[in-house]
Structure 1
Amino acid sequence: MTLTPAPLFEDVAGGPAGGAAHWMQTSDGLRIRAGHWRPEGEVRGTVLMFPGRTEYVEKYGNAAQAFVTRGFAMLAVDWRGQGLADRLLEDRRLGHVLEFTDYQRDVAAVVELATTLDLPRPWFVVGHSMGGAIGLRAVMEGLPVAACAFTGPMWGIFFTPVMKPLSWITANLAPAIGMGHKHPATTTLEPYVQAQEFEGNSLTRDPAMYEMMRSQLAAHPELALGAPTNIWLREALAECRALSDRPSPDLPCLTFLGSHEQIVDRKAVRARMARWPRGELVEIPDGEHEVLMEAPEVRDPAYDRMAALFSAPDQLQRSA
């Protein structure tokens, strides 16, 4: 792979010194972006950060700082259709994908870039929300990592009892009648953190982290993304169903779930972790969707537990 520099908005990322970003080309011809950071001195491995829907590299500058402080390099990716990666529709406010497995093309590009950059091994994956679904399929299909961790993984999407049947109708009927590129009626084209005040938000209980997210988009609106399309919803629901039928990978795994989770299906996460032989589920009291965007007293222990897991994957494998 030829290394092509890409922008990294260090004014808002808050990451460690020395970060850089590169463009990647996927096998189907899209341009996506990754940012990466390394600690000075001895490195214990590399974390591949798989963000959620609407997210972007700079949002994980704080995560990079946390992992670098603990001796790990980190790479984060802008998935197709978000961040600075190629958008798939003329209206760039809409999140879209043709097939959910297309994200695995992005994963392949990440692996190629990490290899070209000679990022220190062993590698580990941390997947948040949609990145948890992408990461789960990736490790099921042989992503070369020694252990994995997830926060609020999208292994099911939360709907109220009233909305659940309507969601299936919307996801399957709307594309059939030519409305696949429209967004569900309950969603907005404005980014969630800009449309929703801190009070009543479903992402974090930490006002400082919420303001960070808002400030990043205010400074760099080109990173912003709003509602998903009906096709994205159809493909996401189908992917959650397909993944639920498959056995858990033979890898050490740590998953964090907020007790107030309102975006992904808590039952689906608990069901998956109950049948992950070397997996552990950590439920965060009063936690919302974004464990790594909670207050320091919540997120720091989460980073500590992930670092402990990533420091001894071979020992965990031998003891299983």
Structure 2
Amino acid sequence: MGSWHPTRDVQGLTEGGLHNMAASPSSSAQAAREALAVRLTHLRKDACLSGKELSARCGWHPAKTTRIQKGEAGPTDADIRAWCSACGADDQAADLIATARAVDSMYMEWRRLHRNGMRKVQEDFYTLHEQAAVCRVYASNGVPGFFQTADYAAALMRSITRFQGTPDDVTDAVAARVARSRFLYEGNHRFVVLLEEWVLRARIGDAETMTGQLRHLLEVMPLPSVSIGVIPFSAQRAIWPLEAFYLFDDRHVVVETLTAEINIRQPREITDYLKAFRELGQVAVHGTHARQLLESAINDLG
């Protein structure tokens, strides 16, 4: 890969079972729920059935039909099969079930994702990075996984496992997370990363672990596949600090909240995240200034 100017490319690239289905922070998930509800409603109307008639055929209370049609309750696989059968549209059940499962995946609680440990989620992220040509990351709460050292990843994952009360498979999960770093060196992948200075100062693990992590960031900064910007504490901000998010090309955003992973594929929302990334990039420092902030954080660790 050829030379890659960090500041120029940050600007260029940025332009370029929850069946109760509680309202999520993402309007993408809500829009998808409503689209599914519309399809089911159209099936009922095409079959010339009232809500009460469909409910009777399905064997449930009419209020359930109303909630499903309003997008307030997500139908289970069995609900969809019963609905299609009542409407004489069994051939559409498989597609509607697949759609419902896709909606379900938009808003995933961490405890659900980590119910058997963290390794599987790390492997899923590996696939996302493998398929993306450009990954833009805004990190406000920790070093992105593909930059993490094994010690830093282990300290962070132990903390998450303890907080969530989920099974401890930290050793395997760390190996899966660190494996992502290969894409920094292999293939035609680019990583444009914006770090809040807080990420450099927050001590994950002991001082030795944090020092090793910061030194590793210094080592990967010169890579032609990497652009690292740091938003200083002192920056006059164009936009407030946000929760961490990952932009995979221009097609998929993953937002990480305290309790859930939110997957966004709605173009209008992706445009908003691209805009936010661009504005955050405008107040970040790169090159020598970014290295100075990293070196200062290392020195302060003693």
TM-score (norm 1): 0.34
Q: Which has the higher helix share?
A: 2
Using CA pairs under 8 Å that are at least 6 residues apart, name the structure with larger relative contact order, 1 or 2. 2
TM-score (norm 2): 0.35
